[in-house]
Structure 1
């Protein structure tokens, strides 16, 4: 392999690759955004939390009877202008919203890295936003899972009482269905999350859920990536239950090919995929699961998404080289 790595190529390119990660508040978006940061590094990846683009603070929203899920409660025009500026490689003055106080701070300068993640309720809610995005993800947990996560987060980190958190969840649900959920139909990648078929308690105890990954077919694959199952180990050493299922799903008036993972897989399965990606791209090391003996479905999905982003980003460079 040439000593000129994927990272070198990305640093040398002026192209700003923008990723939109959409979903309800507390839906687990950050779990998948963090995996991209872990693989490419903070020197190449930065994240903008779109709550910073709220138009009103918490007190004003209460007076107006409006939730952040309503696009009218967000400055999507400013967001679209800022995304267009970042796409050109130029810095912006980014607004700042504090969840601890429900108020705004002073804007801060934000300089684009080579990958910019837009994470929030409305990253591709308008055609103006969508046309600037290179990769789109919608995170869609079942209501039971989402409500449990939200209660733990809002009570533990956002100073809500359990009663206030539950009331907020119920009040926001109609707006979620009307304004946020329709974005799922525009997403190239959809992640659905349910409690594990091996027991609901595994979610809280070991972060094990039934994960269904739906993706539109990649435009190109650099090389085949093998998902290795050690049959000898499966029958003689493995003590963990798992399920892998591939199917076609009718969703949002389109068909998506899906992979469903439940339970726990051996780390060696993921380790071999990691090594294959390293050899193809020069992204080294990809050790985001180091120290784990077993891998949950969300871990495998995070790696597959990163693999697809790598393929798409390299394809962009190849096309630009052909035009030159």
Structure 2
């Protein structure tokens, strides 16, 4: 087969700004699952906006008003929508900056979008106007046990909060999460569910191994010759680790979705063909995100499969335009 044209170069010369919206609770791992896209296309083409920059109130004001960032009224979502629309037209904006260390706002900075713009935050899919601006959308949905452990680690180790403060914030935010954040699952193209590993709950803290499901809607349009291969020979002949691979139908709040679930560890060679398939489809060489590692985790595998799904959507937009 003839090699595909270099999709990275095609994107670089295209006027289209492709937007990926990632929604979920604070500390839910939203950045992690788009890392493969960042690595495949590089910082020259990929830029990110964190929606925390669009908070309406600083930390002290929120405390005084007794309002959490999960409440849409605590955020400038109208300004966010306007800014994204401008960025998709190729214009620059003056982007606000929220400083998590001080809990205050720094001076706005000039910002221009890369050809792939990732938006991560609590309310990425909250408003219809925001959803219309997203070309692909993801909701990251860890179970509470996992989410709270991550939040404690982040807020205590990186942000210097006490255990009591973090516990209070977790309790205070739960009502707003259920009212304003969780319903956004219904608007996502893909949902990532994260549970403790069935091979031991300690696997998450010690080896970053979780039971992870990628739930997706049925593709309305597909492109021929897009395929993903798992090397069964490698898996059956050389695999030294326990793992689970399952395909099922799972219920989300408003729909049935197809779920691909992984747990445990896989040898890197087992999924090398996934990377090779993306290389072939994009013309980008090499794609070897996990090269040099003996094993890969469900997080790694889901990153790779999700990047293929995003590339598929971007290819369709290119062909349509």
Specify the TM-score bucket, using the shorter chain as the normaliser: over 0.9
Structure 2 partner of 1:225: 227
- Once the two structures are TM-superposed, the CA of residue 112 in structure 1 deviates from its matched residue by 1.1
Corresponding residue for 1:297? Answer: 298
Which stretch shifts more, 50-59 or 1-10?
A: 1-10
Go from structure 1 to structure 2 and tell me whether the alpha carbon gap of 1:235 and 1:308 turns closer, same or farther (over 3 Å shift): closer
Aligned partners of 1:278 and 1:284 also within 8 Å:
yes
Normalised to the residue count of structure 2, the TM-score between the two structures is 0.96
Distance in 1, matches of 2:76 and 2:235, equals 52
Alpha-carbon distance in structure 2 between the residues aligned to 1:82 and 1:70:
20
Q: Is the 8 A contact 1:222 1:280 kept in 2?
A: no
Distance in 2 between residues matched to 1:312 and 1:34, nearest whole Å? 17
Q: Determine the C-alpha separation between the residues in 1 that align with 2:312 and 2:292.
A: 27
* 1:103-123 superposed Cα distances (whole Å, 9 cap, x missing partner): 000000001110000001011
The aligned runs of 1:72-83 (5 Å cut-off) are 72-83=73-84
Q: Is the 8 A contact 1:196 1:263 kept in 2?
A: yes
Match in the other structure for 1:53: 54
Distance 2:36 2:303 in 1: 6
Once residues 164 and 284 of structure 1 are traced to their aligned partners in structure 2, the CA distance between those partners, rounded to angstroms, is: 47
Quick one: distance in 1 between partners of 2:159 and 2:178?
A: 23
Query: After superposition, what is the alpha-carbon deviation per residue over 1:218-277, rounded to whole angstroms, capped at 9, x for unaligned?
Result: 32134242432434x545532210001101112122111110100011111221110111
2:67 maps to 1:66: yes
Question: Does the CA-based 8 Å contact 2:226-2:281 persist in structure 1?
Answer: no
Change (3 A) 1:226 1:305: closer
Secondary structure of the residue that 2:271 maps to in structure 1?
Answer: helix
Match of 2:126 in 1: 125
Shift of 1:162: 1.1
Structure-1 residue corresponding to 2:204 = 203
**CA distance in structure 2 between the aligned counterparts of 1:317 and 1:236, rounded to whole angstroms:** 40
Q: Which moved more, 1:159-168 or 1:130-139?
A: 159-168
Query: Are the equivalent residues in 1 in contact too, given 2:47–2:113 (CA < 8 A)?
Result: yes
Question: 2:135 and 2:59 mapped to 1: Cα distance?
Answer: 32
Partner secondary structure for residue 31 of structure 2: helix
Once the two structures are superposed, what CA deviation does each residue of 1:101-144 show, in whole Å capped at 9, x if it has no partner? 10000000001110000001011110110101000000000000
Which ranges of structure 2 fall in alignment gaps of 5 or more residues? none
| Greater CA drift, 55-64 or 289-298 | 289-298
Corresponding position: 1:311 with 2:312: yes
Contact 1:227–1:269 under 8 Å retained in 2: no
Q: Counterparts in 2 of 1:229-308, with a 5 A limit?
A: 229-231=231-233, 233-234=234-235, 237-308=238-309
- The Cα of 1:3 is off from its aligned counterpart by 7.7
What residue number does 1:107 align with?
Answer: 108
3-state DSSP of counterpart to 1:13: coil
Which residue number corresponds to residue 146 of structure 1? 147
Q: Which runs of 5+ in 1 are unaligned?
A: none
Contact 1:212 1:260 in 2 (8 A): yes
Could you say what the CA RMSD is over the residues aligned between the two structures, in angstroms?
Answer: 1.3
Give the TM-score normalised by structure 1: 0.95
Q: Is the 8 A contact 2:5 2:282 kept in 1?
A: no
